[in-house]
Amino acid sequence: MAADINARRIEDHRLLGESLGLLAPVAHDVVAAFYQQLFLDYPQVRGLFPATMQTQREKLLAAIIALVTHYDRPDRLTPALASLGRKHIRYGTQLSHYAAVGETLLTVLRRFAGTAWNDEYEGAWQRAYTFAAGTMMMAAVEAAEYGTPNRLAA
């Protein structure tokens, strides 16, 4: 079972890298479009972000690159993701926001990749995002249980 999971993670790592390579020339446009789409579809989250989004866009792009680069080594990702999850409590992030972000991310990746996008890429990104968001949510819930103000209501 563990061997199957590891093989899937290695294949997903390849697919993530390949699909990110397709998007690399327009990476900054992808990230800008992500936030535009997120705020259009979920206007209630706009207040959680700074007025000027340049730094936020750079942070998201760096996080995506880190996820893709290290997806085959979750031990390298988990501490940073857990830290992000704890930080997001302070920003007012709710558990339901993670689903909104995941849906928006996949929508924008699909749009920018166009006909090059395929079911394999879709699955790899879904699994990678589920891993990242799940790690962040677990850390946030643990932090809330141990004294960090709980803003995680659905």
Provide CB contacts within 8 A for 48, sequence distance 6+: 91, 92, 93, 97
Per-residue confidence (pLDDT) for residue 150, from 0 to 100 = 44
Give the CA distances from residue 50 to residues 40, 43, 57, 88, 148, in Å, rounded to whole numbers and listed in that order.
16, 14, 11, 13, 22
- Report the SS3 class of residue 48: helix
> Whole-angstrom Cα distance, residue 54 to residue 49?
11
Give the separation between CA 20 and CA 25, rounded to whole angstroms: 9
- pLDDT of 20 reads 97
- For the entire predicted model, the pTM comes to 0.90
Check: CB of residue 109 under 8 Å from CB of residue 128.
no
**What's the CATH code, domain 2-145?**
1.10.490.10
Q: What is the pLDDT of residue 145?
A: 79
Q: What is the pLDDT of residues 131-146, one digit of tens each?
A: 999 999 999 999 887 7
**pLDDT for the residue numbered 152:** 47
**What is the mean pLDDT of the segment spanning 11-20?**
97
Instruction: Render pLDDT for 52-111 as a digit per residue (tens, 0 to 9).
Output: 999 999 999 999 999 999 999 999 999 999 999 999 988 889 999 999 999 999 999 999
- What is the number of other CB atoms lying within 10 angstroms of the CB of residue 48? 13
